[in-house]
Structure 1
């Protein structure tokens, strides 16, 4: 294969063991089909579309209105069996033309229609709000930004990081519109997120023959619970110190995080010398990171002061589990630094133990360091340390989702649909798929009632099949049609029991601005009305 944006006048001939390698225009590697010479990913997207359609055909077998799976099951089927297939390699084939990528968007829209049993005329924006699934283009932008973050946090000698770093340094928006760097950078600017290069090792610094679990003790006492009396825990703590750590220097560590104002801090307390040291960390730092930072500072104090026997006491089990793990999934950088410190102390014959203790049990040193960590929030300026890559990834997901929700609400506010956002509305759901489908169609106002079908040029007139002189709308069927007067009277009587006298379509279908318990009550009687009138067969 040859890749070039220019015309290839003469194909190169390549031989291996005097056997000429055949020239081809496409080749599949690691599930991605490369197409020569311009690498437009058209062949890959065509193959992907065929594969997804086969999977959609399986999904169709589960969508019968009478006995089919409910919406949640169908969406799980999509997220587990179809969505990963679409997203695999999307950060690479995202460079394809928008017209080719829209074919995948169309397939996702088809899946959303199958899950909700809405019609082809149903607006995509309403389907996304009903299922809480953003557009595929929005999701691919998020994945590209996450991929760039992961690459920039690899070791500096990694070839892909070197290549991406060079692309960033030579970044030209006018020239590099198809590149991952351009696409991810545009998303990063749009979401107002900083992604800075940071070197995080892939391998633990401790040798494989060194057992770090001997230095880290998570066990405190058997059968400890939240209801265990303080006096028993305090006695156990004293027994533990007197039995195992009698001649040890004791260092208590703690981290703290508050939401208003957003602040993170850490502290250590050296009990033998009655010294407390506090730090204010960047607000982006999470609580586990703050706990690890405090442990790291405690180890640093041990190294600098050449203490021969030391025990570090912390109330963070999650931090100790990370330190014991040679392949931690989160907080790799600081965890590896702590592991390196522990191994360094062992080589210098300095005995170090890190012990978990319960929090808020009136253990003197733990209470002192806890107050010190809280006091650190009052410091004006925080120190500068890079956030964990997982926090940046989490921030990308949150900001991308908020941006999508904001755009969704803005568009829905200009429409005449009964759905106005993507929040969960369990009171509108029904176990019976046919009834659940009916509520979904009423929410989008795309139904099989004659007024809507007339607009679609599928009926000769828009008039009610019983009244003959009024348009067959949702409002007419629920509020005015004489055929359903007796059922409507029962519905109104039921609503009067909860002091609701004036009813409208928004109230009956969504619950309007009523409390959650009242919304469940309203929708329960709306569903009874739909079933007893057999309207759910018509809608």
Structure 2
């Protein structure tokens, strides 16, 4: 039901000024025409209708072992992309994927006029049939969706059919698709970076789940998974507040209870309340910051309330909690 994923009815899409399936003056089969004359006709057609367009050439190929490859050639930069396709797909499907790669490439370029040259008339007819509600392949609907979106942008895109293997510059270079089938192709590092980051994040989360069974249980209740980026990167908090927030999240804060555990003082008790001075005591019970705690207007005695507040470190309640703790530390 891919046609229903479009932002408009498929029958409303008008590609009469986008898809060009013929070239004027070519009304016979290729083998019945003089190759040089055919090439000249195509060059004249390109100069007349697409002379000021940014040109791209695409090609798809398939060998006798049913392996497929595609290629995209940019004559302006003399650059090309070759991709092998693992799946057993038809040659028309490969040509559609090549056109899709060209569309993706155009998205990365600045505004302007672009023409995609393809020698696959079957692929263009397939796209044209999709618009007439004829059932089509998913990649064709994706192409239509992208073309429709770009038609409302500052980019003009046309797809022009050209005869294959008649010596047209650009089309012959896009024939690299055949060599892509057997090439040892390696993706760019940027294509793999997201996968590597995602894998590392998953591994860290598994480690956190296992570790929190015996240690870091306090931190786990506040931060149940590893964040992809530090929460304070774009915050307006002061350095003092960020340090306090990180200490509260980790539970490692220089209070008497912690200092006693590491052998720095002789008693773990609060000097004012004569109760063990751990983080919970400072946030909920200590008389030194009772006034500041009343301003918060939150019942910190409620089970897990302080953890919930710390789970949103940029909230107003969290900022007030940082102040409560800092006041308690200053008044010790």
TM score, norm. by length of structure 1 = 0.32
Matched, 1:217 2:20: yes
Q: In structure 1, what is the Cα distance between the partners aligned to 2:111 and 2:85?
A: 27
In the TM superposition, residue 209 of structure 1 has moved relative to its aligned partner by: 3.7
Match of 2:84 among 272, 280, 283: 280
Q: 1:177-223, CA deviations, whole angstroms, 9 ceiling, x for partnerless residues?
A: xxxxxxxxxxxxxxxxxxxxxxx444655544441121000011342
Does the 8 Å CA contact 2:58/2:117 hold for their aligned counterparts? yes
Going from structure 1 to structure 2, the CA distance change for 1:382 and 1:338 (only over 3 Å counts) comes to farther
SS at 1:235's partner residue?
A: helix
Q: 1:261-302, CA deviations, whole angstroms, 9 ceiling, x for partnerless residues?
A: x31000100111111101000241111110000000101111
In the TM superposition, residue 352 of structure 1 has moved relative to its aligned partner by: 0.6
SS at 1:366's partner residue?
A: coil
Does the 8 Å CA contact 2:70/2:83 hold for their aligned counterparts? yes
SS at 2:125's partner residue?
A: helix
In the TM superposition, residue 337 of structure 1 has moved relative to its aligned partner by: 0.8
SS at 2:61's partner residue?
A: strand
SS at 1:305's partner residue?
A: coil
SS at 1:291's partner residue?
A: helix
Q: 1:460-507, CA deviations, whole angstroms, 9 ceiling, x for partnerless residues?
A: xxxxxxxxxxxxxxxxxxxxxxxxxxxxxxxxxxxxxxxxxxxxxxxx
| Count of aligned pairs | 182
Q: Which runs of 5+ in 1 are unaligned?
A: 1-153, 155-199, 384-539
Partner of 1:360: 165
Q: In structure 2, what is the Cα distance between the partners aligned to 1:305 and 1:288?
A: 26
Q: Which runs of 5+ in 2 are unaligned?
A: 188-332
Partner of 1:309: 113
SS at 2:16's partner residue?
A: helix
Partner of 1:228: 33
Partner of 1:342: 147
Match of 1:247 among 52, 57, 67: 52
Partner of 2:261: none
Q: How does 1:383-422 map to 2 (within 5 A)?
A: none
Does the 8 Å CA contact 1:309/1:350 hold for their aligned counterparts? yes
Higher relative contact order (CA 8 A, sep 6+): 2
In the TM superposition, residue 244 of structure 1 has moved relative to its aligned partner by: 0.7
Match of 1:329 among 135, 140, 152: 135
SS at 1:354's partner residue?
A: strand
In the TM superposition, residue 343 of structure 1 has moved relative to its aligned partner by: 1.1
Q: In structure 2, what is the Cα distance between the partners aligned to 1:342 and 1:214?
A: 12
SS at 2:171's partner residue?
A: helix
Going from structure 1 to structure 2, the CA distance change for 1:268 and 1:373 (only over 3 Å counts) comes to same
Partner of 2:279: none
SS at 2:32's partner residue?
A: coil
Q: How does 1:487-506 map to 2 (within 5 A)?
A: none
In the TM superposition, residue 308 of structure 1 has moved relative to its aligned partner by: 0.9
In the TM superposition, residue 382 of structure 1 has moved relative to its aligned partner by: 9.4
Q: 1:502-538, CA deviations, whole angstroms, 9 ceiling, x for partnerless residues?
A: xxxxxxxxxxxxxxxxxxxxxxxxxxxxxxxxxxxxx
Partner of 2:156: 351
Q: 1:76-101, CA deviations, whole angstroms, 9 ceiling, x for partnerless residues?
A: xxxxxxxxxxxxxxxxxxxxxxxxxx
Matched, 1:264 2:79: no
